[in-house]
Amino acid sequence: MSKAKTQFSCSNCGYMSPTYLGRCPNCGEWNTFVEETIAKENTGAVNPTRVNFSGKQVQPQLIDQVNAAAAPRFTVGSQELNRVLGGGIVPGSLVLIGGDPGIGKSTLLLQVSGELSQLQKRVLYVTGEESADQVKMRADRLQIPQNEDLYVFPETDMTAIRDAIADLKPNVVIVDSVQTMQESTVTSAIGSVAQVRGVTSDLMNIAKTNNITIFIVGHVTKGGAIAGPKTLEHMVDTVLYFEGDQHHAYRLLRAVKNRFGSTNELGIFEMADHGLQEVQNPSEIFLEERLKNATGSAIVVAMEGTRPILVELQALITPSVFGNAQRTASGVDRNRVSLIMAVLEKRAGLLLQNQDAYLKAAGGVKLNEPAIDLAMAISIASSYEDISTDVKECYIGELGLTGEVRRVDRIEQRLREAAKLGFKRVLVPKHNLDLVEIPQGLQVVGVTTLKEALQLSLKK
């Protein structure tokens, strides 16, 4: 029997040390080292040589001899998921989906399994958290069509899972979840850094050598990051985050890493009685509860990946009771709020240093692009001056520290989305109007400074 040894691994980044350390020298986090017992000869790699189930070993080949068209993407019934994945599922890809407990990760993947089986794609649904009866009950509740191409396998041992994949030869494998799987060659506890790393490495080899698409579910920590070492996110091809408030019906599926498509793509779903339903026009949802003649409200056309979305930015400016004014933000960056307020005070003459500011992006969406600056500034000024903005007007533009309104990208897509939702006037950077096709019925006004934009939008 080989002699066992003990090592310590950082649960945040996977850094390994022979002794316990209070602070990880790699990522700088405190109290993240956990003890692991591994066999001396174990390197953590289950199958270091890539060999597929037919026994064929991967060989070097010239890149011009690689036939990428031999494995085209295939789409599922959910157009929102297709968009987030970059146009469909890439065969042989490894996709990681993370999200809070109960947010709908298993529901989404079970619905996708049913849709793929309807398209004659063989699917193996591996569950380590439920029994086969429980999965069947959930499938019945979600009214998922069930046929001979959808298999359920309640198992946590990776050896048994590899054998099942070799026997069934599925097109898609779903593993729910990676923290419940156990690699027999790793002696650490289930869910430990070594186990997660070993299981993901094994799944990656299966996906790449056999051209099987694998979706894996990952738990998240209290901070919202996917549990396990950061190497988990580096190993996979695509990382999707399933976001949303459990007290609201809407769920956001966001791509933060995608080797086969654009990052920051956004898919929007609504949790209904029979599972997740696609939201085809999210702009209407984000604007449906907007009050007419409300102060502190401004509409912006934001880009989420390749999709334009109209979102209401709300601001509440009140005199500060304490010595230091508060800056609170939800859905937008708090530092950006402070920057915009400084520009308003210096370039527009608004006395905001003794005012508390509360900003929110309505609907639970998170915005982080520069094009929202102008709408943020107008919503803050609207609340401060107690003057409402036009309900049929929206604002697009980035603000500079000297008070200029700078150009933004994809202006034509933003204008088309505003016209489709019935808006009559849009304030945009003047330099964006060169060679731009303006939709019929939409008045587009070019502005060069923040002062000019405030004069046009806040009229008593």
pLDDT on residue 70: 59
Residue 2: band (very low, low, confident or very high) from pLDDT cuts 50, 70, 90: low
| Three-class SS state of 232 | helix
Buried b (16+ CB within 10 A) or exposed e, 329-343: bebbbeebbeebbeb
Q: Given this model, what pLDDT does residue 222 score? A: 64
Tell me the percentage of the chain whose pLDDT exceeds 90.
54
pLDDT of residue 424: 94
With a cut of 70, say whether residue 292 has pLDDT above it.
Answer: yes
Is 104 part of any known ligand binding site?
Answer: yes
**What contacts 31, CB < 8 A, 6 or more positions away?**
22
pLDDT at 295 exceeding the cut of 90 = yes
Q: What angle do CA 290, 296, 298 make, to 5 degrees?
A: 60
Amino acid at 66: V
Residue 383 structure tokens:
């609340």
pLDDT at 229: 65
Query: Does residue 320 have a known ligand-binding role?
Result: no
Q: Which of 399, 352, 354, 404 is nearest to 377 (CA)?
A: 399
Q: What is the mean pLDDT of residues 123-131?
A: 94
Nearest to 458 by CA among 353, 375, 341: 375
Answer with the residue of higher pLDDT: 123 or 59: 123
- The torsion region of residue 357 among left (phi > 0), alpha (psi -120 to 50) and beta comes to beta
Q: Would you give the end-to-end CA distance of the chain in angstroms?
A: 85
The per-residue b/e assignment along 222-261, b for 16 or more CB within 10 angstroms, e otherwise, is eeeebbbbbbbbeebbbbbbbbbeeeeebbbbbbeebeeb
Average pLDDT, the chain: 87
Q: Domain residues of the chain, as ranges?
A: 1-41, 76-278, 285-457
If one compares 252 and 355, the residue with the highest pLDDT of the two is 355
Residues 101 and 92: their CA atoms lie apart, in Å, by 27
Question: What is the pLDDT at residue 60?
Answer: 85
pLDDT at residue 1, rounded to an integer: 47
% the chain with pLDDT above 70? 92
Q: What is the pLDDT of residues 157-196, one digit of tens each?
A: 999 999 999 999 999 999 998 989 999 888 777 887 888 8
pTM of the predicted model over 0.85: no
Tell whether residue 208 is among the known ligand binding residues.
no
Annotated ligand binding at 105? The verdict is yes
285-457 belongs to CATH 3.30.56.10: no
83 with 262: CB under 8 angstroms? Answer: no
3-state DSSP assignment of residue 217: strand
Q: What is the pLDDT of residues 303-338, one digit of tens each?
A: 987 889 999 999 999 999 877 889 999 999 999 999
* DSSP run (H or E) holding 374: helix 373-385
Lowest mean pLDDT among 14-18, 140-144, 349-353, 409-413: 14-18
Residue 317: which H helix or E strand, with range? strand 307-319
pLDDT-wise least confident of 53-67, 168-182, 333-347: 53-67
Residue 197 CB contacts under 8 Å (≥ 6 apart), including other chains: 14, 44, 228, 229, 231, 232
| Ligand-binding site membership of 100 (annotated) | yes
Asked whether the beta carbons of 235 and 241 are under 8 A apart, the reply is no
Rounded CA separation 227/207 (Å): 22
Q: Which helix (H) or strand (E) holds 278?
A: strand 275-278
In this predicted structure, what is the pLDDT of residue 46? 45
Q: What pLDDT was estimated at residue 42?
A: 45
Over residues 387-405, the mean pLDDT reads 95
pLDDT digits (tens, 9 = 90+) for 14-47: 788 888 999 988 888 898 888 877 655 444 444 4
Mean per-residue pLDDT for 44-73? 69
The confidence score (pLDDT) of residue 69 equals 63
Question: Are 98 and 219 within 8 A, CB to CB?
Answer: yes
Topology of the domain covering 76-278:
Rossmann fold (3.40.50)
And the tokens for 16? 């390994």
Least confident piece of the model among 84-93, 127-136, 287-296, 417-426: 287-296
